[in-house]
Every structure is written in structure tokens, then in C-alpha cells.
Chain A
Amino acid sequence: MFDLALLVQGLPLLLAGLWNTVWLSACGLALGFLIGIGVCSLKLSERGALRRLGGAYISVFRGIPLLIQLLFIYYLLPRLGLDVPAWVAAIAGLALCSGAYLAEILRGGLLTLPVGQVEAARLLGLSGRTTLTRIKLPQALRATLPALLNEVILLIKASSLISAVGLAELTRTAQNLAASSFLQLQFYLAAAVLYCVVNISLALLAGRLERRFAKGRA
């Protein structure tokens, strides 16, 4: 059932898989963040049509399961004549989906800002964009940091679905090792442990930040 030697042999591969998981998630997050800012400003815009567009983006990308979105991108892009490598499709899928969640998190953060601050910035003659990037966003980020970290955990877990389109991230690597060695339990457990290490550290960090902010506000 367990074979320590094979585990040690497979470890470098698993760690490489973990590395892929992390950087694919990180890229997905970074891109998703940009999408999130865009969608969030659509959602907060004064034009009804733009608001509806933002709302539609959010409900579509949150309503459709991520696996389906990934399959869609993976099959559809070649059909459109875009022969992109699998990792690009994977990052695009993660980014599009997390963008919808991040937009909602950011919106929550922005809505809790006191109106007076924005008015003060406007009175000082700052433009709408400067107000957004210099006054609103930094504060929204601070307030929503725990929620954002939580989103990172969700994204890392979601990235396991990339294995379905054949990329050798952590889950896929474990799958390959398990299939070739017939030590299914061992390698899936190893993958689970690695996910735990990363995600529980992130969760602890989020908890600590949350307490720090709670104290700062009191």
C-alpha cells in the first residue's frame, strides 16, 4: 500500500507539480484581479447598461461550474483558430472565473468606505481615476485582504481541475504517479498533504490579518 522509496523518488515530481499549481494560480489570480477591478467598476458605474453588463459577467462566471468553463476554453479556442498552449487556456479559465468573485469582494470593500472620503478627494480636485487608484483601492484592498486570501485558497483548490485538460500540476502529477506505481492511496495522500501545507498556511495568515485589522479598527 505504501512504498517509501517510490515516494521519495516521486517527491521531486510532486514538488514540481506543486510549483506549477502555485504559479498557474498566481497568474490566474493576478489576471483575475485586473478583470475583477474592471468588472467591479462596471458594476459601480453610473450607466445602467454598464452596470447590467458587470452583473451579467458576474452571474455567468459564478453560475457556470469552473470545469465546464475550462473545457469550453480548451475546446473552443482551437476552433476559433487560436492554437494556444494548454497553460494559457488554464490561466485564462482561472482568471475569468476568479475575476467574477474578486469583483464582488472588491465591491464589498469599496462600498464600506465612508462616502465623506471620496467627497473630500473630489473637492480637492482629484480626478475620478486618481480617486479610485490612490484613495479607494488601497483602502478596499486593506479591508478585504482576508477575503482576498481566502479567494487565493479557493483558487489553488480550483486549479486542481486543470488536471482535466492535461496539465501536470499537482493533482495531475499525483494521478500519473499513482497510475504508474499502482500506489494510489500513497500518492493522492501525498498530494493532499502538499495542498494542506500551502492552504492551511494561507488560512492561518488570513486569520492573523483579520485579527490585526479588527484590533486596528477598535
Chain B
Amino acid sequence: MDFTVLTDHASEIGSGFLVTLWTWGGGVLAGVIAGLVIAVIQLSAGPWVRGVLRCYIEVIRATPFLVQLFLLYYGGPSLGLSLSPMTAGLVGLGIYGSVYFAEIFRTGFTSIPRGQQEAAAMLGMTAWQIIWRVQIPQMLVLILPALVNFTTILGKETPVLSIITVPELTFVLTGVGAETFAYVETLLALCVGYFLLAELCSRLGQWLERRASRYLTQGVQQRRALKPRESAA
């Protein structure tokens, strides 16, 4: 095996890596925002709107991501929606992610005791203030593991974007492989690359979880109490 093909094409591979990070990050961001909107609407809207959203969620969950991408990228133009591969990929990841994120947010919302909302309402807080100040901060901590988990899953969907010619890591490396016949080397590099990304993501998640859930276990007073000792040392 000859891994010099990788160093020979380092700059292409680097840009492919950046495209992967960009589509992944952008897809997660779009999915989280859309999912949050869906979850909030689901909790507050009437039965009709809820029914429509339920259908959207079920349909997206029942169809393969690749088919959704094809619909968006190849089917879009007949509806007057011509997207570049990159945009189609970002939007596709966002749509696909939105329904899973929405389900995560919905469980999060319903796991916060109703009494806390009632207490806020009795103090005159508006529905928006209750969502933003009471529910979301607590919910984020509860659902963080699920969010991290699905973010990793979405990352593992990004190679599919290569099929609609988004120039991300898989596209670049399979291209290099076809050009140089170094299939094994490039595929091995891909395996290692994605494996490391997934590991990194879950490590980062664990760290975030520990930080975010501190208020559940450790008092402010304790942290304050540590300060004098630090300054004394």
C-alpha cells in the first residue's frame, strides 16, 4: 500500500474535509432550528396543524435520506427550485435532521413538570418568556445526550452527499481513488477519518454533558467556597 497518494492530494482532501464539516455543521444548525420550531408549534397549535406536522415527520422518517436528496436536487427544478449540490445537501440534511430533532425537543418539553409553567404564568410571564426562560434552558440539559447522539448520526449521513456530487470528503477521496487506482488507501483514509470524527463528536458531547448538568448536582455556594483557597495558594 502506498499512502503517498494522500499527501499528493492533500489540498483537495483538506478542502473536502472542510466541506464535510461545513455541510455537517450547517445541516445540524438548520435541523435544530427547524426542529425546535416544529416542536414548539406541535405543543401549542390546534389539531389540524399538529396532524400536518405529524404527517411530515412520519414521511421524512419513513423515506431514505438518499431519496430525499434526489427529490430535492433532481426533482426540485421541475418545481422551479434549482439548487446547487451544496445547497441541496445542506437543505436535505436540515430537513432530514429537523424531524428527529423535533422529536427530541418534544420529549424534552414534555419532561419538564407543568407546575413550573403554571408558576411562571401566575407571575405574569408570557408564553414566549416561559418557553425561552423556563423550558428551553432546562430541556437543553436533559436532551443533550440525545442531541449529541443524533448529531453524530447526521455526520454519518454526510458521505451520501457525494452521490449528488457535493465536493465533500467522500467525493474527493473516491475521486482520488478512481484517478490513481489507490482504492484501498483512500477508502482506509475515509474509514479512519469518519471514525475519528464520530469519536470526537461523542467525546465533545460527554464533556458538554458534564458541564451543563452541573447545576443539578453542585451548588453555586460550593464553587464560591473553592475560590478563597485558590487565591490563597
Contacts and interface: CB of A to CB of B under 8 A. Distances in A.
B41 interface: no
B194 interface: yes
Given A71-B187, A75-B184, A157-B65, A65 B194 contact: yes
A186 to B, nearest CB: 8
Contact of B63 (A71, A163, A178, A196): A196
For the side of the interface on B, what is the size category?
Answer: 35 or more
Interface in B35-86: 58-59, 61-68, 70-71, 74-75, 77-79
A194 to B, nearest CB: 9
Contact of A79 (B162, B163, B184): B184
A178 B74 contact: yes
A81 to B, nearest CB: 14
B70 A71 contact: no
A72 B64 contact: no
Contacts of B157: 65
B146 to A, nearest CB: 15
Chain B, interface SS category: helix
Contact of A185 (B59, B61, B71, B190): B71
A171 interface: yes
Contact of A160 (B67, B78, B162, B184): B67
Contact of A76 (B62, B75, B77, B184): B184
Contacts of B163: 164
Given A63-B198, A64-B194, A68-B194, A203 B62 contact: yes
Nearest to B71: A188
Contacts of B158: 65
A159 B79 CA distance: 28
A171 to B, nearest CB: 6
B62 A196 contact: yes
A60 B70 CA distance: 29
A111 interface: no
Nearest to A62: B198
Interface string B183-194: 110010011001
Contacts of A1: 78-79
Contacts of A175: 70
B20 to A, nearest CB: 11
Interface of A: 1, 60, 63-68, 71-72, 75-76, 79, 153, 156-161, 163-164, 171, 174-175, 178, 184-185, 188-189, 191-192, 195-196, 198-200, 203
